[in-house]
Chains A and B, each alone.
Chain A
Amino acid sequence: MKKRIFAFFINIAALLVMSLPVLAQGQKKEIKLPEEVFPLYNGTFVGVDLYGVGSSVLGSKFQSSEVSVDVNLKNRFFPVLELGYGKTDDEENGISYKSSAPYFRVGMNYNMMFKKKNMSHLYLGARYGFSTLSYDVKGAAIKDDIYSGEVPFEYMGEKTNAHWMELVFGIRAQVYKNFLMGWSMRYKVRLSVKENIHSTPWYIPGFGENKSTNFGVTYSLIYKLPFK
């Protein structure tokens, strides 16, 4: 627990430092065009999430890599597709659990600053997430202290799938020309997870620990593709 809180503080501190260049850049550009009429298509953005990789270095049990693609429509709607790969390899209380699998999310962001002709903005969004995964779980034999005897416990290649929804609040800021960075906070709600006869999946790539709700953070570096 202490390790996780310490890791969290270190993480926040690192990201604050990383945010400074954005603030410095942001002061240089200030464009106010209140009544701008935007065309339907305003560009495509490709992003890479660094939080999933960084959090595992700082002590998280889970690691993920994620790429996102979103399209600016009318400077207001940003349909988005997120593809990622999550994995864990943990051992606690005599149980080892190993899993790695891809996941995807699809959804839309709504630009709360759509009147401004500026790539930097705040947004609210929603996602539908899905993952099909397999996992290995192995533990010490279960001892029967009443009737005697023990039962070995080892299940490899258990297959399952999971669905969830996410509410997203985020911020995106221009760093340099077509480069941006962004934060998002996500409230995740599990819709369904298929349980197996001998196990309940513990980790769901893209969602986190298998609980009814989870909280997530992304920190992304984003590039606006140079064509319209």
Chain B
Amino acid sequence: MKHLLKFLFLGVFICSAIGLILTACGETTDCSLTGRPSLRFNFGDSTLNAKKPDTLTVVALNTVVGDSVILNKQVKATYATLPLSYVNSETVFVFKYSKTLCDTIWVTHKNIEHFLSMNCGVVMYYKIESIKHTKNAIDSVAIINSGVDTNEKENIRVFY
């Protein structure tokens, strides 16, 4: 019975110690999935009869301040991460290569607001449904991953 008493005390002690440690550790929450997800364009190799422009400026239309420059005269850009609208189901970007050459891209998307946890809150995810574009410099586009989240994986590849 003495052993049992020792075990009782030991049990309570271990309970207390582990409980305290884990209570303290339990405060840490991984909120790495929060933040505003961006649509990632990767720029693929040139096709046979066209070439990839040297500089790229991307303008988002219909923002709070009218039209906003998201990417400004980026030289030899290999990718661009661009924000999509929370409210509208279509976001429009203008890709400017020079004063006289530009392309417009219409991205149609489904907006999916998602509750993560009490600590991390709510984030907006997207699902790309379709893409339209002009063909001034762009040859074609391909949807690589339709899901847009905070993982920054490639969503759309643009071919020139």
B22 touching A147, Cβ below 8 Å:
no
Most buried by A among B14, B19, B88: B19
Which of B94-102, B107-115, B132-140 lies on the face that meets chain A?
A: B107-115
Chain A residue with minimal CB distance to B87?
Answer: A149
A92 touching B118, Cβ below 8 Å:
yes
Determine the chain B residues whose CB is within 8 A of the CB of A199 once the complex forms. 114-115
A147 touching B114, Cβ below 8 Å:
no
Given A15-B12, A147-B86, A151-B124, also A198-B113 (CB < 8 A): yes
A200 touching B15, Cβ below 8 Å:
no
A215 touching B19, Cβ below 8 Å:
yes
A215 touching B22, Cβ below 8 Å:
yes
Instruction: Tell me if A4 counts as interface (CB < 8 A to partner B).
Output: yes
Given A12-B15, A15-B12, A151-B86, also A200-B5 (CB < 8 A): no
B4 touching A120, Cβ below 8 Å:
yes
Q: Chain B nearest CB: distance from A216 CB in Å?
A: 9
A149 touching B85, Cβ below 8 Å:
yes
A202 touching B14, Cβ below 8 Å:
no
Which of B47-55, B58-66, B148-156 lies on the face that meets chain A?
A: B58-66
Instruction: Tell me if A145 counts as interface (CB < 8 A to partner B).
Output: yes
Q: Chain B nearest CB: distance from A11 CB in Å?
A: 8
Which of A36-44, A63-71, A136-144 lies on the face that meets chain B?
A: A136-144
Determine the chain B residues whose CB is within 8 A of the CB of A143 once the complex forms. 86
Determine the chain A residues whose CB is within 8 A of the CB of B60 once the complex forms. 146-147
Determine the distance from Cα of A114 to Cα of B63 in the docked complex, in whole angstroms.
Answer: 73
Q: Chain B nearest CB: distance from A203 CB in Å?
A: 9
B115 touching A197, Cβ below 8 Å:
no
B23 touching A4, Cβ below 8 Å:
yes
Given A30-B1, A147-B86, A149-B85, also A183-B119 (CB < 8 A): no
Chain B residue with minimal CB distance to A22?
Answer: B8
CB contact list, B12-51 vs A, under 8 A:
12, 14-16, 18-20, 22-24, 26-27
Instruction: Tell me if B116 counts as interface (CB < 8 A to partner A).
Output: yes
Instruction: Tell me if B78 counts as interface (CB < 8 A to partner A).
Output: no
B117 touching A173, Cβ below 8 Å:
no
CB contact list, A159-215 vs B, under 8 A:
169-171, 173, 183, 185, 197-200, 202, 209-211, 215
Determine the distance from Cα of A16 to Cα of B12 in the docked complex, in whole angstroms.
Answer: 7
| Residues of B participating in the A interface, judged by any CB pair closer than 8 Å | 1, 4-5, 7-8, 11-12, 14-16, 18-20, 22-24, 26-27, 60, 62-64, 68, 83, 85-88, 91, 111-119, 121-122, 124
Please provide the 10 A-B residue pairs with the shortest distance between their CB atoms, ordered closest to farther: A149-B87, A144-B86, A199-B115, A147-B85, A215-B22, A30-B1, A171-B11, A92-B118, A148-B64, A12-B16
Known: A93-B119, A95-B118. 5 other contacts (CB 8 A): A12-B19, A29-B1, A147-B88, A183-B15, A198-B114
